[in-house]
């Protein structure tokens, strides 16, 4: 089972290049960068984990910028968006950002995607909250066409463009893995429809026990006709506990991701050391 780590990179956190080197030295498999373009001051929807919205949500840097810095500082570490809010991004430009980062990193990019919960943030980008899931699917399908075709075109309800030429294409073929975040069952269904993996969040209030959902997800995959190997599971929110990691491993989870505070190295490095020791115990 692989071990990843995520951080909201801010001007008061570790720098992405610094964290990337620290993770690679300790045997972590991947680094993940979340995304919020901004946080509206008036919100109708509360934070999914409950309570006040942490300050780092307001302050987080652009994930493609921070992951590029991390790519330049590492050799083997995989680099993922966790998650990229595709409903808030132009698909043609985002396809270029993904392909460019995959090229720069030598094929190490993981495209974690999600459709978002912050209604006002989403609507500030001109996206209707009620139809964001269909918009996300069309944008991802359009990006898949851009990555895999020399003269891509796409014609949908929300995304529509005639044949074009756009480079670079990604190093990974047919494209970087699209790892779909979202609650069960709808997020799982989206992963099966257009993804290359499912990424549930362990600690969100609307989730049941993730371990109980894994067999149901796998049954859905089998019923879809896709092989289980096409859709590995990444659990966001690893527990710092040997038995919990062993349970995830024995369940066949492909990867767990540690959520790190947006803090400096003095706070983060001892935590990484503890996780590295735990990972060796369950290897």
CA distance 239 to 258: 8
Q: Which two tokens stand for residue 134?
A: 């269909």
Please state the pTM of the whole predicted model: 0.95
pLDDT for residue 251 is more than 80: yes
Which range of residues forms the domain containing residue 29?
Answer: 2-282
Tens-digit pLDDT profile for residues 28-83: 999 999 999 999 998 777 777 667 889 999 999 999 999 999 999 999 999 999 99
Domains: count for the chain: 1
Half-sphere exposure of 143 (CA within 13 A, CB side): 28
Tens-digit pLDDT profile for residues 132-151: 999 999 999 999 999 999 99
CA distance 199 to 30: 14
Neighbours of 200 (CB within 10 A): 25
Helix axes 91-104, 63-72, angle to 10 degrees: 10
pLDDT-above-90 percentage for the chain: 87
**Exposed/middle/buried for residue 35 (C-beta within 10 Å: 0-12, 13-18, 19+):** buried
What pLDDT does 49 receive? 66
Tens-digit pLDDT profile for residues 76-118: 999 999 999 999 999 999 999 999 999 999 999 999 999 999 9
Among residues 188, 274, 277, the alpha carbon closest in space to that of 235 is found at: 188
CATH number at residue 151: 3.20.20.30
């Amino acid at each position: 089972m692989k071990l990843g780590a995520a951080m909201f990179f801010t001007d008061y956190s570790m720098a992405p290049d610094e964290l990337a080197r620290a993770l690679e030295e300790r045997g972590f498999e991947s680094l993940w960068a979340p995304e919020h373009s901004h946080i509206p001051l008036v919100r109708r929807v509360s934070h999914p984990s409950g309570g006040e919205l942490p300050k780092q949500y307001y302050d987080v840097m652009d994930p493609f910028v921070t992951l590029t810095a991390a790519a330049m500082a590492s050799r083997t570490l995989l680099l993922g968006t966790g998650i990229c809010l595709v409903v808030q991004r132009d698909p043609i430009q985002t396809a270029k950002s993904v392909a460019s980062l995959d090229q720069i990193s030598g094929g190490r990019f993981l495209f974690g995607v999600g459709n978002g919960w912050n209604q006002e943030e989403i609507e500030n980008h001109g996206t209707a909250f009620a139809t964001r899931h269909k918009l996300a699917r069309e944008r991802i399908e359009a990006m898949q066409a851009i990555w895999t075709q020399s003269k891509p075109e796409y014609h949908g309800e929300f995304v529509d463009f005639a044949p074009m030429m756009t480079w670079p294409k990604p190093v990974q073929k047919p494209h970087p893995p699209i790892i779909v975040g979202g609650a069960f069952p709808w997020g799982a269904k989206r992963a099966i429809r257009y993804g290359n993996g499912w990424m549930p969040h362990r600690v969100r209030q609307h989730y049941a026990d993730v371990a109980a959902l894994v067999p149901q997800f796998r049954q859905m995959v089998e019923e879809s006709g896709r092989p289980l190997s096409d859709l590995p599971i990444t659990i966001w929110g690893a527990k710092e506990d040997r038995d919990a990691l062993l349970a995830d491993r024995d369940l066949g989870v492909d990867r767990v991701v540690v959520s790190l505070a947006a803090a400096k190295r003095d706070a983060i490095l001892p935590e990484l050391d503890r996780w590295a020791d735990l990972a060796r115990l369950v290897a």
